[in-house]
A = this chain, B = another copy of it.
Amino acid sequence: MYYIGIDIGGTNLKAGLVSENGQIKATKKSPLRFENMEQMGEVLANMAVTLAEENGVSRDQVMSVGMGFPGPVDNKNGVVIKTVNIPIRSMPVAEMFHKYWDIPVYLGNDADCAALGEYYHYEDKSIESLLLVTLGTGIGTGIILNGKIHTGINGCAGEGGHIVIVHGGEECSCGRRGCWERYASANALIRQTLAAMDADKDSAMWGLVGGDLSRVDGRTAFEAKRKGDAAAKKVIEQYLCYLADGLANYVNIFQPAVIALGGGVSHERDEDLLLPLQDMVLEMCFGREADRHTRIVKAKLGNDAGIIGAALLGM
């Protein structure tokens, strides 16, 4: 038996045929293109059917189709409430899908699906809670409590990038000021790196990008720090401080078994990111004297987490 997971992004659809033990057997990717949004059901159903057929799996070997959308969903009623980057508003996706394939359909938020994927594949199967924090353009979070996605009363929970950690701070796209993602996302790190370079024309960071600011990315300051650059060291120390503040907030609220860090920044060497973060967060949190602490680890699944998690919605 198989489960299909589809990860709906702003530019691409990615689908995966997932086995009962959560492993991807095959994937399929296509650009997200519609003449109008009415075609959504047809496009998604075609993708799922084709994925199965191309891999020699008959329709009745597929138990369900799960889909992760970049926004809040109402899974109970099969409705996608709203998405970013795609003009979806209150769309009955399950019903639209069923016109082409009558199979159980489950909807989730993409960050939640990724968290579910990480949870399922976590080495210790006895854990009851996991928070996935993805450091990218913004900060995405998904919360698993007692083995289930925490969606809140309206599907909008888990917007963890939008907790204010700097009262009255930088403007955020969400309308608030000082949100965590303005200070601790990969994009924030890039902005902080650029500002430090602007303030120090002698920094080794300039050499690393050949004087070309457009080549600055989330790795630049980490690399320069390893080469002993003082300006880069300051950038990283401050960045970790912002990152730790948000993570410690989550520990004080949830005390989850695990916080998994995902996104490009999370691939930095352990001695530069994970180890100092673990120390900083523990120092900041309640429960230091308890016998169990939140483990902060690197996420394992990378880009496949969303597909696997979407498929798992049906398990």
Is A167 interfacial (CB-CB < 8 Å)?
Answer: yes
Q: A82 and B162: CB pair below 8 A? A: no
- Residue among B158, B167, B241 making CB contact with A253, cutoff 8 Å: B158
Q: How far, in whole Å, are A156 and B294 apart by their CA atoms in the complex? A: 11
Q: How far, in whole Å, are A158 and B252 apart by their CA atoms in the complex? A: 6
Residue of B nearest to A249 (CB): B163
- Residue among B152, B241, B290 making CB contact with A129, cutoff 8 Å: B152
Q: A164 and B249: CB pair below 8 A? A: yes
Q: B81 and A289: CB pair below 8 A? A: yes
Q: A255 and B291: CB pair below 8 A? A: no
- Residue among B167, B178, B291 making CB contact with A154, cutoff 8 Å: B291
A137-153 vs B, CB cutoff 8 Å, 1 = contact: the mask equals: 00000010110001111
Q: A164 and B245: CB pair below 8 A? A: yes
The stretch from A226-234, A280-288, A299-307 touching chain B is: A280-288
Q: A248 and B164: CB pair below 8 A? A: yes
Q: A129 and B158: CB pair below 8 A? A: no
The count of residues in chain A whose C-beta lies closer than 8 Å to any C-beta of chain B is 54
Q: A255 and B157: CB pair below 8 A? A: yes
Residue of B nearest to A90 (CB): B289
Is A160 interfacial (CB-CB < 8 Å)?
Answer: yes
Q: How far, in whole Å, are A82 and B146 apart by their CA atoms in the complex? A: 25
Is A32 interfacial (CB-CB < 8 Å)?
Answer: no
Q: How far, in whole Å, are A81 and B137 apart by their CA atoms in the complex? A: 40
Q: How far, in whole Å, are A174 and B242 apart by their CA atoms in the complex? A: 18
Q: How far, in whole Å, are A252 and B155 apart by their CA atoms in the complex? A: 11
- Residue among B129, B154, B245 making CB contact with A153, cutoff 8 Å: B129
Given contact pairs A145-B145, A245-B167, A253-B160, A175 touches B287 in the complex (Cβ within 8 A)? no
A191-219 vs B, CB cutoff 8 Å, 1 = contact: the mask equals: 00000000000000000000000000000
Question: Nearest 3 A-B pairs (CB), nearest first?
Answer: A152-B255, A156-B287, A154-B290
8 A-B pairs whose Cβ atoms sit less than 8 Å apart in the complex: A81-B290, A129-B153, A154-B290, A166-B167, A167-B169, A167-B183, A176-B248, A176-B284
